[in-house]
Amino acid sequence: MTKEQVIKIFKEKFNNENPEVYTSPGRVNLIGEHTDYNGSFVFPGAIDKGMIAAIRFNGTDKIRAYAIDLDESSEFGLIEEDAPNEGWAKYLFGVCREIIKRGGTVKAFDTVFAGDVPLGAGMSSSAALESTYAFALNDLLNLGIDKFELARIGQSTEHNYVGVKCGIMDQFASIFGKEGHLIRLDTKTMEYEYFPFNPKGYKLVLLDTLVKHELASSAYNARRASCENTAATISKLHPEVKFLRDASMDMLNEVKDQISEEDYMRSKYVIEETQRVIDVSNALQQGDYETVGQKMYETHHGMSKLYEVSCEELDFLNDIAKEHGVTGSRVMGGGFGGCTINLVKDELYDSFIADAKKQFKEKYGHEPKVYDVVISDGARKL
Ligand code: GAF
């Protein structure tokens, strides 16, 4: 939806007043999955799909919000007891509350918003929404919150108002995104580096299974708990280990008998994935996309067999990619449904997409959705 369209809807809803308009994107992640809450590396980039919001302070003590895509309204205050019932409104409320908790003064506002990040596809529609409002309120109210803290406001919203104990990757990418660049972020130190990403002769494409799993949040939180349990167990022998990122396979094997088999598998995946992100950064610097692709397949295998966040449909798409000679393919984001991310040679692109659509439809009754990835800028005023 364009800026003009959002303004028009805002004016229809709210007495013809003129709003300001902000946008924040969703993200892709080349490699480094479920590593961000383990103090490890991620490799995301913001995309050309996001949320767009028109916003204007209303001089009352109630936020009045309208979700254009859902045709739903919500009205809520700014104190803890005023939490809205609508799932989507919790994101707006949470952002306001997290700003207030950090000492910021939030004034009530009218707002309408829309988005084109597919929901539940692993492309971070929720981070896009959080970042849009965190960025807009910071800008409009001159709160002086830095970009790292804006990302943390979105993350805390997930933890405290949505119930997902996520890492920082999605909000970070949505705020810090830069056109044509992926970002390697060290989530332990928050040091980051932009990597130009324009792989000549390759395309990056997402295939969305359209599968969404209801229990994804609790399963996600359980993965995090497994990792933290292992890190705590290892740290009794090796106090320098604060996160799984700090642990080696030898350390993990030392505590194998003290943790469950499940925790062992989850942790093995994270330790291996940490190394893969390092390998991919080196490969990218050499322009070695074959290695990048090979690591993507390894990640998929780990996410499917050790971390167990894939599903039948994602594995099926991954197999088709492999059979087709696609350079790299894997489940992207939290998993439990959603997309695969695929690094495909230009000359294979058309036949791969056609084949994936055909085979997937024959098996599951519908085609996967196809999104070509365009790496874009992060949160901004329009
Ligand atoms: C979700 C979370 F929000 C991220 O923090 C990250 O853990 C990701 O899953 C998996 O890499 O998108």
Indicate if the pLDDT at residue 214 is higher than 70. no
- ipTM over 0.95 threshold: yes
Please state, for a pLDDT cut of 90, what percent of the chain lies above it. 95
Final residue before a domain boundary, out of 175, 196, 217: 196
DSSP-assigned states of every residue in 184-220: EEETTTTEEEEEE---TTEEEEEEEEEEE-TTHHHHH
The ligand 1 atom at the shortest distance from the C-alpha of residue 35 is 11
* Residue 120 in contact with ligand 1 by CB distance below 6 A: no
The residue that leads in pLDDT, 215 or 67, is 67
Indicate if the pLDDT at residue 213 is higher than 80. no
Final residue before a domain boundary, out of 147, 167, 196: 196
Whether residue 277 is contained in a domain is answered as yes
**Which tens digit of pLDDT belongs to each residue from 10-42?**
999 998 889 999 999 999 999 999 999 999 999
**Which tens digit of pLDDT belongs to each residue from 70-83?**
999 999 999 999 99
Residues 127 and 52 in one domain: yes
Residue 39, CB-side half-sphere exposure with 13 Å CA sphere: 14
Single out the residue of 178, 184, 210, 191 nearest to residue 280, CA to CA.
184
Indicate if the pLDDT at residue 121 is higher than 90. no
For position 329, what pLDDT does the model report?
A: 98
Banded model confidence at residue 257, pLDDT cuts 50, 70, 90: very high
Indicate if the pLDDT at residue 194 is higher than 80. yes
* Residue 333 in contact with ligand 1 by CB distance below 6 A: yes
Please state the domain count of the chain. 2
- For the chain, count helices (H), then strands (E): 11, 13
* Residue 33 in contact with ligand 1 by CB distance below 6 A: yes
Residue type, 194: Y
CATH code (residue 331): 3.30.70.890
Final residue before a domain boundary, out of 170, 196, 222: 196
User: Separation of 75 CA from ligand 1 center, angstroms?
Assistant: 29
Residues 309 and 281 in one domain: yes
Indicate if the pLDDT at residue 118 is higher than 90. no
CA–CA gap between residue 33 and residue 44 (Å, rounded): 10
The token duo for 200 is 């000549």
* Residue 334 in contact with ligand 1 by CB distance below 6 A: yes
Average pLDDT of the residues in 106-128: 94
Average pLDDT of the residues in 88-113: 98
* Residue 315 in contact with ligand 1 by CB distance below 6 A: no
Banded model confidence at residue 215, pLDDT cuts 50, 70, 90: low
The residue that leads in pLDDT, 171 or 16, is 171
User: Please, what is the Cα angle at 123 between 118 and 126, to 5 degrees?
Assistant: 80
Residues 98 and 48 in one domain: yes
Average pLDDT of the residues in 33-55: 97
Residues 283 and 308 in one domain: yes
Indicate if the pLDDT at residue 259 is higher than 80. yes
Whether residue 225 is contained in a domain is answered as yes
Question: Measured in Å, how far apart are the chain's first and last C-alpha atoms?
Answer: 12
Residues 181 and 248 in one domain: no
Q: In which domain, by residue range, is 112 found?
A: 3-196
Average pLDDT of the residues in 156-163: 96
**Which tens digit of pLDDT belongs to each residue from 325-380?**
999 999 999 999 999 999 999 999 999 999 999 999 999 999 999 999 999 999 99
Which residue in 36, 110, 170, 246 is the catalytic one?
170
pTM of the model: 0.95
Pocket-testing residue among 27, 38, 152, 166, ligand 1, by greatest number of atoms within 8 A of Cβ = 166
Residues 112 and 23 in one domain: yes
* Residue 338 in contact with ligand 1 by CB distance below 6 A: no
Catalytic annotation present for 170: yes
The ligand 1 atom at the shortest distance from the C-alpha of residue 33 is 11
**Which tens digit of pLDDT belongs to each residue from 268-327?**
999 999 999 999 999 999 999 999 999 999 999 999 999 999 999 999 999 999 999 999
Banded model confidence at residue 57, pLDDT cuts 50, 70, 90: very high
For position 349, what pLDDT does the model report?
A: 98
